[in-house]
Amino acid sequence: MKPFFKAVFATAALTLCSIGAKAEVDPNFYIFICFGQSNMEGAARPEKQDLESPGPRFLLMPAVDDPGRGRKKGVWCEASAPLCRPNTGLTPADWFGRTMIKTLPENIRVGVIHVAIGGIHIQGFLKDSIASYVQKAPGWMKPMLQAYDNDPYERIISLAKLAQKDGVIKGILMHQGESNTGDPKWAGMVKKVYDDMLGDLQLKPEEVPLLAGEVVQANGKGQCVAMNKLINELPKTLHTSQVISSTGCSNGPDNLHFDAAGYRELGTRYGEKMLELLGYQVVTPFEVPADAKTAETTIPGNEFPKVDKDGRAYFRLVAPQAREAVVDICSKQYPMRRDEKGVWCAVTDPLVEGFHYYFMNIGGVNFIDPATETFFGCNRQSGGIEIPEGPEGDYYRPQVGTPKGQVRSIYYYAASTNEWRHAMVYTPAGYEKGKKKYPVLYLQHGMGEDETGWAKQGHMQHIMDNAIAKGEAVPMIVVMESGDIKAPFNFAGGGSNRQGFSDYGASFYKVMINDLIPYIDSNFRTLTDRDHRAMAGLSWGGHQTFDIVLQHMDLFSYMGAFSGAIFGLDPDTAYDGVLKDGEAFNKRIHYLFLHCGSEENFGTDRLAQSLRDRGIKVDYQVSQGTHHEWLTWRRGLHLFIPHLFK
């Protein structure tokens, strides 16, 4: 019996009798070489699920001694993080192994040999350049090189030869390239390392593929994302290589290393690709808890998306020909998993209550989930999902027995811009049956949204109906226009966004004053004096409210901004000084309301205080626990309207 197997038997926690009982090679013991730099070494702190061993079917042959964990170089042990060296982190190899044993038959075991050094160039694994590379290596890298006796390649080969006495090498996993970003010779050097390994271990290339993972993408902001072009072209040079996509794999704040969830996903993809190459059908079950319910934003006739009691969203997409798919919710990407029928599924982290825009993505192209209603947001038509509140959200839900108003779609001609324009107009319950005249609230949406936003995403009509029915708000007409802010603003070169001198959306200002207000007053029964006219808006709509109202105080007497994009306002100089004299301002504006979410840090509190310092009466309120989102703005509108026209 070999000495290293005696050491394994001496460890009471291990039950590796099947290894020690046989001196011959076990064809059902699949061994994989894992090498590379920091992302293979592991830069994320392992979490509880990573530290628990999956059992004796997933083994590690340590490349260095780790006395603290009872590990000895060259002696098989159960695999759990960290796999590389003491004080390293979670790596793709961890969840590669877990994915493998989850699908492989029970009689097959998986072993990994793991050698990686943070920051190392591919030259550090080339036999003919290792010595010179070590001499020139930076001081911080030298202790890591010394852990492998200054020859990481030789350490791989010596351990692999030892492992070949017990099992069969089935593949090589590599994650390297960040230090060689843009190097046109990289692919050739990878091929040289691969060829050397196969030659030294007497392996056949058709039986031992190399799997190479992409580097961190970070939505195009990865520090080395340009390297992915070379990685994706590697199969042109090394025909037995396979590229593992990092699309949707989450990363740490440095945009260079994956976070724990990203390593799990990337490792799972390594495992699924290897299983496919080995001829195994990978089935990824999609379990949905019994409490999950079809989202209210789902198109009738579809079961998904669903939402569970904890706010997790579940998505499903049928795309048999897709290689990978992602759900993108507010720029956070969730990789989808594929089953044997080509059905892709994903589950999110718990999402905050309220409305969320989202897209699906295949091959880098965003598209709208065909199972969801569409909403104009993010400067285009988008998918959307509602994470429901409890009974506290009833103020924006239709209620049985509550009289319902109407939301009308109108087109009007704007002579100011020589074009036909579209707006939405809410009229309160009973409007069409009487002759009563009503005050008017002009209500604006935010950047990248349109005139339908307040009705579709904001449920404005239900907020109004319920508040009016309870006597909390007076019946009023509400007018919503696009405001010319559907397209994004080019902050780098798009002109001024200073209060009173805005370029973005400023084309709407003359339309509102010269065309929209006259049209509404001519075609609806309105009270046309300033005491019965208000304006409010969310985000950039709040900015527009300040620009329009404070330069036309002869037309408005109420104003509000929900998460208003009002930055750097100097009350002493802005708008020709109308904010400088608080007493005079308070005589003209009957009510000024500022509102924001507690989590968005939009500076609304500082704006409110700067106005109060001038003696201006400001009602400033905060939506607890919400960000820059529709739930914040629904709450803002609900708090604002009871103060109007009273």
Confidence of residue 286 (pLDDT cuts 50, 70, 90): low
pLDDT score, position 494: 55
Q: What is the pLDDT of residue 169?
A: 98
User: Minimal CA–CA distance to 399: which of 470, 466, 344?
Assistant: 466
Half-sphere exposure of 601 (CA within 13 A, CB side): 0
Task: Please compute the mean of the pLDDT values over residues 237-253 and round it to a whole number.
Answer: 92
User: What is the C-alpha separation between 9 and 115, in angstroms, rounded?
Assistant: 25
The band of 10, judged by pLDDT with boundaries at 50, 70 and 90, is very low
Residue 377 has pLDDT above 80, yes or no: yes
Q: How confident is the model at residue 2 (pLDDT cuts 50, 70, 90)?
A: very low
Separation between Cα atoms, residue 271 and residue 217, nearest integer Å: 20
Q: 280 pLDDT band (50/70/90 cuts)?
A: confident
pLDDT of residue 335: 86
If phi over 0 gives left and psi between -120 and 50 gives alpha, with beta otherwise, what is residue 380? beta
Strand pairing report for 419-427 and 326-329: unpaired
How far is residue 643 CA from its own chain's centroid? 38
Above 80 in pLDDT, residue 226?
A: yes
Catalytically active residues are 38, 254, 257
pLDDT tens digits along 251-269: 999 999 999 999 999 999 9
Q: How far apart are CA 101 and CA 98, in angstroms?
A: 6
Q: Which of 438, 443, 461 is nearest to 535 (CA)?
A: 443
Is the pLDDT confidence value at 248 over 90? Answer: no
> Which amino acid, 235?
P
Residues 134-148: pLDDT tens digits? 999 999 999 999 999
Q: Is the separation of the CB atoms in 433 and 474 below 8 Å? A: no
Q: Give the pLDDT confidence score for residue 48 in this predicted structure.
A: 87
User: Given a cut of 60, is residue 645 above it in pLDDT?
Assistant: yes
Buried b (16+ CB within 10 A) or exposed e, 182-193: ebeebbebbbbb
State the average pLDDT for the chain: 91
- Residue 498: predicted pLDDT: 66
Tell me: pLDDT of 98 over 90: yes
pLDDT at 457 over 50: yes
Statement: residue 5 has pLDDT above 90: no
Cα(237)–Cα(234) distance, integer angstroms = 5
CA distance 200 to 462: 73
Greatest C-alpha distance within the chain = 101
Q: Is 172 exposed, middle or buried (0-12, 13-18, 19+ CB in 10 A)?
A: buried
What is the arithmetic mean of pLDDT over 84-95? Answer: 95
Mean pLDDT of 234-241: 96
CB contact at 8 A, 315 and 276? no
pLDDT for the residue numbered 361: 92
**pLDDT average, residue stretch 227-251:** 94
pLDDT, average across residues 466-491? 92
Task: Give the residue-averaged pLDDT of 43-62.
Answer: 92
